[in-house]
Chains A and B, each alone.
Chain A
Amino acid sequence: MAGRRKRTSWEIQQAVVFALMMRELKTRFGSYRLGYLWALLEPLSHVAVFVIIFGVIMERTMAGISYPVFLITGIMPWLLFSNILNRGMVAVKSNAALFGYRQVKPMDTIVTRTILEVLIQLLVFAVILVGAVWIGHEIAIVDPFRVLAALGALVAFSFGTAICLCIAATLHPELSKLLPMLLRPLYFMSGIFWSLGSIPQEYHPYLTWNPLLHVIEEIRAGFFAGYSLSSDVSMGYVAILAVTVIALGMALYRQEKERLVAT
């Protein structure tokens, strides 16, 4: 067998994350084909619900923007965010048995799930957009880089939040019940099926604390020509929040990483 060179901790982490990723892909999608289908069906079912409820009214208020496409640009970032949180929160718990191999560290499982969600949701996003064009919707992304930058900020924010949640929920399992309770109202406050421009200015302060709203509005500004973007939307705000939660998550992790594994 090959000579034994000590691997750096970075090399080890890369190998472990790759190994975890292959394992998770196979576990999630390997045994039944429906796994792939479900990844597509979930966002489409959201679209269907809102098109049925608001379709007629919204088509009238937003000239030149197809409402289903508008919805998708809100739902995909939302699913990316909520999936990273939901899956990241239980990453350590669901992989507990793997920490029997000393190379596998709790952080690797959170990183793996974040990367995997990004890959899956971006692919789903692309497939849905291609599908939408195919059935006759007109989509011309005016500023793709703006969309990607906003998604990048969203992933950073979600990752940092997932680390904090994962540590909290692993050490105090009862806390994991809070997340769905917090996510549900947030879903309605993030501009998934409405745009900030359609809300009177005086109500904006009640909504703009929510970084998701900023991200979704920014993505739409990058998507649709002439989208009326409120001046309240600030990517700087999202970036500061992202850096803050990542720093907080890393500090907590440094403090608690042994307790995450210890019996």
Chain B
Amino acid sequence: MIEVVGLTKSYLTRQGRRYVFRDLSLAFPEGRNVALMGRNGAGKSTLMRILGGTDYPDSGEVRTEKLLSWPLALSGGFQGSLSGKDNVKFVCRAYGSEDELPDKLAFIHAFSELGDYFYEPLKSYSSGMRSRLAFALSLAFDFDVYLVDEVTAVGDEQFKRKARKAFEDLKGRASMIMVSHDMQTLRAHCDAAIFLEEGGATFYDELEPAIERYRGVAA
């Protein structure tokens, strides 16, 4: 269970302070794969970053005992002049896996299907290769909850299938919170939804009504 309590987050814009959330409280139930929905600017990515502990609210807090991943589409932490291998080595070390480094590197190398590119500087990667690496990296860790931000737009058809399969395999041992504007992707992975609108949140025990609402809003 992840609880968000009394969350307020605002940004200072040229037109003054703009609130993304005002005293938002919500709960992500245990073991459910939750779709985080809402229009552009509703605060989906902001909420993901706050859940991931990489951004901070003005007030309020996130309460959980779970181990949450970083927002999964994240590849911004990669350094262009370093090889793919050195880049993922950094994250493995930071997450305290010095002892398991060879295993993790072997897994990431194999799963990302980068072949020899694994040893080339990241700036020579295509965007597809880059996100394959980021995706493989996050699967190398045993998180309780994966924060997935538009990730299945990753790579080609074949890799997409593989990513979907990997998420299927996670079910039971880990759950996910997913942001996507693609309803097919959400249907494939999620069984509940939280809809963000105008600083508030509504929980849906089933996905379809939330998709209906999203269609209504987005249309």
Interface set of A (CB-CB < 8 Å, partner B): 1-2, 4, 7, 11-12, 15-16, 18-20, 22-23, 26-27, 30-31, 97-104, 258-259, 261-263
Contact = CB atoms under 8 A, between A and B. Distances in A.
Nearest to B121: A31
A19 B94 contact: yes
A258 B56 contact: yes
A31 B71 CA distance: 29
B53 interface: yes
A8 to B, nearest CB: 11
Nearest to A14: B96
B110 interface: no
Contacts of B78: 97
A7 B94 CA distance: 12
B89 A102 contact: no
A262 B76 contact: no
Given A19-B93, A22-B90, A102-B52, A27 B79 contact: yes
A263 B103 CA distance: 35
A98 to B, nearest CB: 5
Tell which of B53, B78, B103 has the most Cβ of chain A within 10 Å: B53
Contact of B77 (A100, A258, A259): A100
A97 B86 contact: no
Contacts of B74: 100
A15 B95 CA distance: 7
A16 B55 contact: no
B98 interface: yes
B54 A97 contact: no
Given A30-B82, A31-B81, A101-B54, A15 B96 contact: yes
A15 B76 contact: no
B70 interface: yes
B69 to A, nearest CB: 9
Contact of B94 (A4, A16, A26, A258): A16
Contact of A101 (B55, B86, B94, B100): B94
Contacts of A22: 89-90, 93
A66 B77 CA distance: 48
Contacts of B55: 261-263
B95 A103 contact: yes
Nearest to B68: A102
B95 A101 contact: yes
Contacts of A98: 77
B99 interface: yes
A100 B71 contact: yes
Given A1-B142, A261-B55, A261-B56, A26 B93 contact: no
B49 interface: yes
Contacts of B56: 258-259, 261-262
Nearest to B71: A100
Nearest to A104: B94
B106 interface: no
A263 B76 contact: no
B96 A11 contact: yes
A103 B96 CA distance: 10
Contacts of B11: 263
Nearest to B87: A23
B27 interface: no
Contacts of A261: 54-56
B1 interface: no
B166 interface: no
B183 interface: no
Contacts of A19: 89-91, 93-94
A231 B35 CA distance: 71
Contacts of A11: 96
Interface string B24-65: 000000000000000000000010010011111000000000
A71 to B, nearest CB: 34
Contact of A263 (B49, B82, B90, B121): B49
A101 B100 CA distance: 19
A144 B94 CA distance: 36
Contact of A4 (B54, B77, B142): B142
